[in-house]
């Protein structure tokens, strides 16, 4: 026989309190004494009680969820960001409702927001690249929704939480310059992406300041396959390229694979840098030198900032998180052997001596 679901009344009876007290524990727990709250929570737990969300919505109760509009989760960075937002939201007893948009035009964004509004959600994190005007229009036309944007131009007039790309990108170019590299390939992200454009502009400025004006540029789509494909284009356009600066780790993975296929190893090897420092990047072959963005921190701050906005809708939040260069084995002095090949050469010399 199908087991009957526990009701609010069952919880009240088991805990020995009124139904009103149980609903207060659900809707405004801070107003209930610690001991009573504990008793009610215990009863809910032992009865496997699940609150009826539809009934709560019909009664006009504020939702205990926030909305997340994300770029494709097949990309490593947006999926790390979503995971971090989910775990930090859960720690604050907030569920996360998600929309994943392929073409984030105004109409698609508005319909995602409408869907959240229908679920009584009043706070949304927008984790995809948006032009300033589009973000401003969305926030302006939905004053009942607190919107926090994670990938908008620095001068947009909206609440935003962003990474400061400047430190990481310039440190990356200067690191390669100090290793003696003079012929650069730049593999940017899609031109439609704000962060991709900012990273590219920053690399070019840093190279320009060093007197380099002949760097070649290709544009990928953030995927490893585009990194693989664009490497052939870069190397065939200028076989002297000794360093490729890449706009994300996922494309860098494809670049390393293409270089291996092109036999650009040993003294012919090309240094590669990435961007993101996703947890897998240290296990690439060779371990990737990259610019780290702390997605865990981004998720934590995004949830905190959104909660702040929900309490004080009239305020504007703007926060910038740092980026930093992490040096591993995919960068080495120009013309020098890659570290792994040096070890192999040493071993060969040892074997020859035996």
Binding site for ligand IPT (CB under 6 A): 71, 75, 77-78, 128-129, 150-151, 193, 195, 222, 248, 275-276
* Residue 40 contacts residue 22 (beta carbons within 8 Å): yes
Strands of the sheet containing 318-321, edge to edge, are: 95-100, 65-70, 123-127, 146-149, 160-163, 318-321
Taking CB positions, which residue lies at the least distance from ligand IPT? Answer: 248
Helix or strand run (H / E) with residue 69: strand 65-70
Shorter beta-carbon distance to ligand IPT: residue 11 or 128: 128
Q: d(Cα 175, Cα 170) in Å, to the nearest integer?
A: 8
Tell the smallest beta-carbon distance from residue 291 to ligand IPT (Å): 9
Q: d(Cα 175, Cα 35) in Å, to the nearest integer?
A: 59
Shorter beta-carbon distance to ligand IPT: residue 269 or 289: 289
Tell the smallest beta-carbon distance from residue 276 to ligand IPT (Å): 5
C-alpha dihedral (32, 38, 40, 41), degrees to nearest 10? 120
Q: d(Cα 149, Cα 151) in Å, to the nearest integer?
A: 6
The tally of CA atoms less than 13 A away on the side-chain side of residue 344 is 8
Tell the smallest beta-carbon distance from residue 273 to ligand IPT (Å): 13
Report cis status (omega within 30 of 0) of the bond before 233. no
Strand partners, 22: none
Tell the smallest beta-carbon distance from residue 248 to ligand IPT (Å): 3
Tell the smallest beta-carbon distance from residue 302 to ligand IPT (Å): 10
Annotate 132-192 with DSSP letters as a single string.
HHHHHHHHHH-TTSEEEESS--TT-SS-EEEE-HHHHHHHHHHHHHHTT---EEEEE--TT
The count of other CB atoms within 10 Å of the CB of residue 46 is 12
Structure tokens at 249: 């780790």
Tell the smallest beta-carbon distance from residue 254 to ligand IPT (Å): 13
Shorter beta-carbon distance to ligand IPT: residue 123 or 129: 129
Shorter beta-carbon distance to ligand IPT: residue 142 or 293: 293
Shorter beta-carbon distance to ligand IPT: residue 280 or 311: 280
Closest CA to 219 of 194, 243, 246: 246
Tell the smallest beta-carbon distance from residue 180 to ligand IPT (Å): 28
* Residue 231 contacts residue 253 (beta carbons within 8 Å): no
Shorter beta-carbon distance to ligand IPT: residue 2 or 102: 102
Tell the smallest beta-carbon distance from residue 228 to ligand IPT (Å): 16
The count of other CB atoms within 10 Å of the CB of residue 3 is 6
Shorter beta-carbon distance to ligand IPT: residue 218 or 276: 276
Shorter beta-carbon distance to ligand IPT: residue 42 or 74: 74
Strands 95-100 and 243-246: unpaired
Tell the smallest beta-carbon distance from residue 61 to ligand IPT (Å): 32
């Amino acid at each position: 026989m199908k087991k009957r679901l526990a009701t609010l009344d069952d919880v009240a009876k088991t805990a020995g309190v009124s139904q009103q007290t149980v609903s207060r524990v659900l809707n405004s727990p801070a107003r209930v004494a610690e001991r009573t709250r504990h008793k009610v929570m215990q009863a809910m737990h032992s009865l496997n009680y699940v609150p009826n969300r539809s009934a709560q919505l019909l009664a006009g109760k504020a939702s205990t969820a926030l909305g997340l509009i994300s770029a494709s989760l097949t990309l490593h960075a947006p999926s790390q960001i979503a995971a971090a937002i989910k775990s930090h939201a859960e720690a604050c007893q907030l569920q996360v409702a998600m929309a994943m948009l392929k073409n984030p035009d105004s109409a698609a964004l508005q319909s995602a927001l409408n869907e959240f509004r229908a679920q009584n959600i009043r706070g949304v994190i927008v984790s995809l690249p948006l032009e300033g005007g589009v973000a401003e229009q969305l926030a302006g036309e939905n004053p009942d929704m607190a919107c926090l944007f994670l990938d908008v131009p620095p001068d947009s007039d909206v609440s935003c939480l962003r990474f400061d790309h400047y430190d990481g990108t310039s440190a990356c170019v200067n690191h390669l310059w100090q290793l003696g590299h003079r012929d650069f390939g730049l593999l940017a992200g899609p031109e439609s992406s704000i962060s991709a454009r900012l990273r590219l502009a920053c690399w070019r400025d840093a190279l320009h300041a060093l007197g380099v004006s002949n760097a070649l540029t290709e544009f990928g789509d953030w995927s490893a396959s585009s990194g693989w494909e664009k490497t052939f284009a870069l190397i065939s356009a200028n076989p002297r390229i000794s360093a490729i600066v890449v706009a994300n780790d996922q494309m860098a993975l494809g670049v390393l694979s293409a270089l291996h296929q092109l036999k650009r190893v040993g003294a012919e090897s090309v240094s590669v840098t990435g961007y993101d420092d996703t947890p897998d990047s240290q296990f690439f072959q060779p371990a990737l030198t990259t610019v780290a963005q702390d997605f865990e921190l981004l998720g934590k701050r995004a949830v905190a900032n959104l909660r702040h906005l929900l309490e004080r809708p009239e305020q504007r939040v703007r926060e910038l998180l740092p980026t930093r260069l992490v040096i591993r084995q995919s960068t080495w002095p120009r013309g020098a052997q890659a570290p792994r090949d040096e070890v192999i050469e040493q071993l060969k010399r040892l074997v020859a001596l035996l």
